[in-house]
Amino acid sequence: MSGAIRSRARWVAAAAVLASGCGLLAACGGSAASGADAQSITLYNGQHVQTADNLISAFEKKTGITVNVRSDDEDTLADQIVTEGSHSPADVFFTENSPPLESLQAKGLLSKVDSSTLGHVPAKFSSPQGDWVGVSARVSVLIYNPSLISASKLPTKVSQLADSQYKGKLALAPQETDFQPIVTAYLRAYGKAATQRWLKAIQGNASGHIYPDNETIADEVNRGAVAFGIVNQYYWYRMRAEIGASATHAEITHFAAGDPGYVVDVSGAGILKSSTHQAAAQKFLAFIVSKQGQEIIGDPSKSISYEYPIGSGVTTQAPETPFSQLQPYPITIAELGDGSTAIALMRQAGLL
């Protein structure tokens, strides 16, 4: 028995040593990253990590300013910034879509972007108040699997998604911020009552194929689990770049010109009012809309962003429909807003 007690005592001693050692080391691990000085900024990144990484390393090389990055879902980051309030460690917030930035702007948490930076981007892609700048753009498309549905059977208008012939064939990711703009556009085009009916119908048609994100829609359509869905165009390009053309069975197509389902989404960046590194943060924004920054976004050999560059006259080098030839539904950033009306309607319809 005494042997048993001794061996247990060793366990305790080992655990205690391990615990105290680890506690110490863990504390060290934290302090290493927290030394922020004037020559470093903290970026809250809601954009795809690849896109942000390529921009950041080029920016660091050019300016010598270090960028500390935190990546998370853009909406969670927006919530986090609100919760952090005046002590937010964030200097810059970079998002995939405009609604998170619009929501922070409405709460008065963003400071004005330098007018020279705003000047690099067409005014319609940035905050009307000048609180954030547009960085890149994407367009909504239908992604479909030709072995499950032929192109001629696809809807040409987003309103047709409600047709009963698409029951069980349609995939949606209503939680994604990419879907709300289409609902907002629909609302603007057809009014509230029609939007409510339409949402109810597509909720039924997409039953069983409601996915958490666009990557999943692209993947599921590609492997034939569902016939078609709505995503932004770059998910298809990114998937193809990742898995190769031979494994890519899905295709994409646009809605009819000017249809409310044909929407351009803008990615943007803003600076927090609470930031104590305003000058360095402004430099970062200026860089990502500069020719060099925009070329990183638009050139598949520099990043696999596959988004459309929209600043400094740079055009995409990817083999996709040129941005200037897109014929999207005419809706402004301000009209897209923070998406709260669309969310309320989607909730009523049971999509959220």
Residues 39 to 78: which contact other proteins by CB under 8 A?
42, 48-50, 53, 57, 68-73, 75-76, 78
User: What is the closest distance, in whole angstroms, from the C-beta atom of residue 120 to other proteins in the complex?
Assistant: 26
User: What is the closest distance, in whole angstroms, from the C-beta atom of residue 25 to other proteins in the complex?
Assistant: 5
Rounded to an integer, what distance in angstroms lies between the CA atom of residue 169 and that of residue 146? 12
Query: Could you say whether residue 15 binds other proteins (CB under 8 A)?
Result: yes
Interface residue with other proteins, options 18, 38, 256, 279 (CB under 8 A): 18
Calculate the CA dihedral of residues 44, 48, 50, 55 and round it to 10 degrees. -50
Interface residue with other proteins, options 109, 199, 239, 280 (CB under 8 A): 239
CB burial string 312-333: b at 16+ within 10 A, e below: eebebebebbebeebebbebeb
Q: Which is closer to other proteins, CB of 20 or CB of 150? A: 20
User: What is the closest distance, in whole angstroms, from the C-beta atom of residue 256 to other proteins in the complex?
Assistant: 28
Taking the CA of residue 204 as centre, how many other CA atoms within 13 Å lie in the half-sphere pointing to its CB?
Answer: 11
Query: Could you say whether residue 238 binds other proteins (CB under 8 A)?
Result: yes
Interface residue with other proteins, options 38, 39, 62, 82 (CB under 8 A): 82
Rounded to an integer, what distance in angstroms lies between the CA atom of residue 194 and that of residue 345? 11
Query: Could you say whether residue 299 binds other proteins (CB under 8 A)?
Result: no
Q: Which is closer to other proteins, CB of 121 or CB of 297? A: 297
Interface residue with other proteins, options 87, 164, 245, 325 (CB under 8 A): 87
- 301, two tokens: 């050999």
- 349, two tokens: 């319809």
Query: Could you say whether residue 20 binds other proteins (CB under 8 A)?
Result: yes
Interface residue with other proteins, options 83, 115, 164, 301 (CB under 8 A): 83
User: CB 194: neighbour CB atoms within 10 A?
Assistant: 14
Q: Which is closer to other proteins, CB of 40 or CB of 63? A: 40
- Phi/psi class of residue 266: alpha, beta or left (left: φ > 0; alpha: ψ in -120 to 50)? beta
Do 306 and 318 contact (CB within 8 A), yes or no?
yes
Interface residue with other proteins, options 211, 284, 306, 323 (CB under 8 A): 211
Query: Could you say whether residue 334 binds other proteins (CB under 8 A)?
Result: no
> Looking at 25-33, 114-122, 134-142, 278-286, which segment touches other proteins (CB under 8 A)?
25-33
Interface residue with other proteins, options 60, 114, 215, 295 (CB under 8 A): 215
Do 139 and 326 contact (CB within 8 A), yes or no?
yes
Residues touching other proteins, count (CB under 8 A): 79
Q: Which is closer to other proteins, CB of 124 or CB of 200? A: 200
Contacts (Cβ under 8 Å, ≥6 apart) of 52: 43, 45, 69, 71, 94
Rounded to an integer, what distance in angstroms lies between the CA atom of residue 5 and that of residue 328? 76
